[in-house]
Structure 1
Amino acid sequence: MINGAHIILYSQDAEADRAFLRDVLGAPYVEAGQGWLIFQLPPAELAVHPTERPAMHELYLMCDDVVTTVAELTARGARFSRPISDQGWGLVTFLTLPGGSELGLYQPRHPRAHGKTR
């Protein structure tokens, strides 16, 4: 039985991105040895979207109030690469990790799957 998911972010500066996740986002973690930090994520959802492009994957963090969350994270040193935009299904922005990659952040308007069983 599947009991979790392990997501890997590849980075040009893994140490800085780990420090960002630990210090700015405040993500709980365990030390796996030799500087490797494994971060706990909040409850997650998985959606499959159709595309004509080559297959790809995206990672979005969710929050209840994107405006407040952006303000709080900005005060802790986070940088956002795009303004908050209304996509219909939610309010979306992107924060930039120190290694250069982006993480989506959004306030969903759709029903949440967490805690649901068929």
Structure 2
Amino acid sequence: MFSGAHMILYSQDADADRAFIKDVLGFDHVDAGHGWLIFKLPPAEVAVHPTDDEPKHEFYLMCDDLDAVLATMAERGVEVTRPVTEARWGRLTAVRLPSGSELPLYQPLHPVAHSL
């Protein structure tokens, strides 16, 4: 029924964040015209969590080895903005995008659905 999912990150400096995703993260992309890059993402999954607060949406890049990813990011001069937190279901942190916003990173410790 569906052929994919399209996520949008809103940015105060979209050109710099696009360059970061292209050059630092190394994501393949297409140019939709006039330098408007659309990136191929790794396999994805979606979860629905309950909340009593205002509903919101979150975007995380998942990885198998968070420590290795952070070492690579450090070599590329990327700022880690949150200490790694450990939970029974996963390990979380975030890195700084050029626009100043954060990009959360997540190493799941639970079964994943993205490769089904």
| TM-score > 0.5 by shorter chain | yes
CA RMSD of aligned residues (A): 0.9
Instruction: Specify the alignment match of 1:64 in structure 2.
Output: 64
Equivalenced residue count is 116
TM-score by length of 2: 0.96
Select between 95-104 and 5-14 the one with higher mean Cα deviation: 95-104
Q: Distance in 1 between matches of 2:95 and 2:111?
A: 24
Deviations 1:41-63 (A, max 9, x none): 00001000001110100000011
Deviation at 1:115, TM superposition (A): 2.7
Q: Distance in 2 between matches of 1:15 and 1:77?
A: 18
Structure 2 runs not aligned, ≥5 long: none
Deviation at 1:77, TM superposition (A): 2.2
Task: Check the 8 A contact 1:24/1:77 in 2, yes or no.
Answer: no
- Taking the TM superposition and a 5 Å limit, the aligned residue runs for 1:41-60 are 41-60=41-60
TM-score by length of 1: 0.94
User: Which aligned segments of 4 or more residues in structure 1 are displaced greater than 6 angstroms?
Assistant: none
Structure 1 runs not aligned, ≥5 long: none
